[in-house]
Amino acid sequence: MSERLTGISSETNSRRNFMKASSVAAVAGTLGITSGAYAAGSDEVKIALIGCGGRGTGAAVQALSTTAKVNVKLVAMADAFEERLQGSLKSLLKQPVAERMDVPKERQFVGLDAYQKAIDCGVDMVLLCTPPGFRPAMFEAAVAAGKHVFMEKPVATDGPGVRHILETNKIAKEKGLLVAVGHHMRHEATYKEMVKQVQDGVVGEIQFLRAYFDSSGVWNRPRKPGQTEMEHQINNWYYFTWLSGDHIVEQHVHDLDICNWIMKGHPVEAQGTGGRQVRIGKEYGEIFDHHSIQFTYADGTKMFSECRHIPGCWNSFSQHAHGTKGVAHLIGHHMTELELKGQKPQRRKRGPDGHQVEHDDLFNALIAGRSYNEADYGASSTMTAILGRMASYSGKLVTWDKAINSKFSLAPSKISWDAEPLSKPNEDGIYNCALPGISKAF
């Protein structure tokens, strides 16, 4: 397989050199996690938002709204597209958090290199909220610069990307940098309580798990006149696997993360299927609209996973643990329910939104001087979703070891507006998608 397709070439060598150099100077230049001192003795934490879409704008609001006793200020913003940045900025300035913003024109960065400019403009922490295909490189840049990081899930879109995250995180730990990952359900009181009960045996020995992210779908951004192929794919990023990972990775990763949390580990293999039933037009890129996967954990426990983007169908965002004594239901943004044999179901409504709590937890750790790092389990959950996609795309049974050690990179050989993505439309504007039974997993 060619270097361009594997992504293992001078770029990988540069990354390895970075890791070696960073290990030697891991502590030098670090911000330090001392209570009440963040940047040169200041009590102010300056943050940069990188990726100004809806989730990025929301993350900025939550960071600026933290209940932690710390002075957070948004001082820089970056996005590939000017209109996206300006839309986010306009929205933020209309909200109460506007008083915590100081983002003049000279700290509004646009383009594919905008993230590096935002990292380098004197901030203490960065919010990485771009399409996940960019996450590994941006995480590396932030850690190299000694910045604390909040990054949205998923953290990568392929095996090489996950390994990149794990390598970089070793350096982040050596530097004492705080790293948060946007698995907000892990921060919600009702979920934490229910998972602990399940792990403590309240439902008995776990027999199997179920996980769902079934919905009608998300936004779509049609091709604009004059756009290069790269511009179109980045603008409509959700529908291209190198950028989003497919919706099994981009969204269903939440459910898979909860199951991994319950099981205290990741699956060892997966098999399943999927395809495109209704989302078949040229505006929908190359991803599937449904996946059905059976994961197997090391102890033999099965997890049955389903995600779908088809309007007019049954919808669910939920996870369920079936045991010998009963069932634990964790129902997305609504409640948890404990259903034990012979007993009346015990329901608990959802508490404070985990999107806010995860930022409160991050900043409280910062001011307390505690270590705080979620990247390893974030990478594991992302890899679980990628494993599922590889099984779905190929129709084959895929093992964890082969998946995470795959050298196949989905990304183009370089990231620039005139670069050529690996996936291109045919003469009718339609993109080829994976064909189970024909497509290879690696």
What would the mean pLDDT of 194-210 be, rounded to a whole number?
98
pLDDT digits over 62-98, tens only?
999 999 999 999 999 999 999 999 999 999 999 999 9
**Which CATH number describes the domain made up of 186-351+383-404?**
3.30.360.10
- Quote the CA–CA distance of 139 and 24 in Å, as a whole number: 19
In this prediction, residue 334 carries a pLDDT of: 87
Query: Are the C-beta atoms of residues 382 and 253 closer than 8 Å to each other?
Result: yes
Question: Which helix or strand (DSSP H or E) is residue 271 part of?
Answer: strand 269-275
Using the predicted structure, report yes or no on whether residue 266 has a pLDDT greater than 60.
yes
Determine the average pLDDT of the residues in 134-152: 98
Residue 16's pLDDT band, with cuts at 50, 70 and 90, is very low
Q: Place 11 in a pLDDT band, splitting at 50, 70 and 90.
A: very low
CB contact set of 86 (below 8 Å; sequence gap of 6+): none
Across the strands, what pairs with 275? 290
pLDDT at 430 over 90: yes
The CA distance from 169 to 154, in Å, is 15
Task: Find the mean pLDDT for residues 199-223.
Answer: 97
pLDDT band at 42 (very low <50, low <70, confident <90, very high): low
Residue bearing the bigger pLDDT, 399 or 18: 399
Percent over 90 (pLDDT), the chain:
88
Please state, rounded to an integer, the average pLDDT across all residues of the chain. Answer: 92
Domain ranges of the chain: 3-185+357-374, 186-351+383-404
Q: Name the one residue in this structure whose structure tokens are 């090489």.
A: 160
Report the C-alpha dihedral over residues 25, 27, 31, 33, rounded to 10 degrees.
160
User: How many whole angstroms separate alpha carbon 330 and alpha carbon 319?
Assistant: 5
Identity of the residue numbered 354: G
Q: In the beta sheet, which residues pair with residue 284? A: none
Q: Is the pLDDT of residue 10 over 80?
A: no
Helix axes 82-93, 54-64, angle to 10 degrees: 40
Is the pLDDT confidence value at 37 over 70? no
Q: Place 295 in a pLDDT band, splitting at 50, 70 and 90.
A: very high
**What digits encode the pLDDT tens for the residues 158-171?**
999 999 999 999 99
Q: pLDDT tens digits for 356-385?
A: 999 999 999 999 999 999 999 999 999 999
pTM: 0.92
Helix, strand or coil, per DSSP, at residue 122: coil
Q: Is the pLDDT of residue 221 over 70?
A: yes
Q: Which two tokens stand for residue 282?
A: 């040229």
Q: Output the pLDDT for position 442.
A: 74
Q: Is the confidence at residue 32, as pLDDT, over 80?
A: no
Mean pLDDT across the stretch 23-52? 60
pLDDT at 35 over 80: no
CA distance 234 to 229: 9
Question: Which position has the higher pLDDT, 441 or 251?
Answer: 251
Q: Which CATH class is domain 3-185+357-374?
A: alpha beta
What are the backbone angles phi and psi of residue 258, rounded to the nearest 5°? -65, -40
Q: Are strands 335-340 and 346-349 parallel, antiparallel or unpaired?
A: antiparallel
Res 340 pLDDT > 90 = yes
Arithmetic mean of pLDDT, 2-22: 37
Average pLDDT for 300-326 = 98
Residue 366's pLDDT is what? 97
Of 6, 41, 1, 2, residue with least CA distance to 406: 6
The more confident residue out of 364 and 334 is 364
The alpha carbon of residue 361 and the mean position of all alpha carbons in its chain are separated, in whole angstroms, by: 18
Radius of gyration of the chain from Cα atoms? 21
Q: Are 70 and 106 in contact (CB under 8 A)?
A: no
Two tokens, residue 333: 């943004």
Q: Give backbone dihedrals phi and psi of 38, rounded to 5 degrees, phi first.
A: -120, -60
* pLDDT tens for each residue of 393-424: 999 999 999 999 999 999 998 999 999 999 99
Q: What is the pLDDT of residue 441?
A: 78
Q: Which of 131-140, 383-392, 408-417 has the lowest mean pLDDT?
A: 408-417
For residue 2, what pLDDT is reported?
Answer: 31
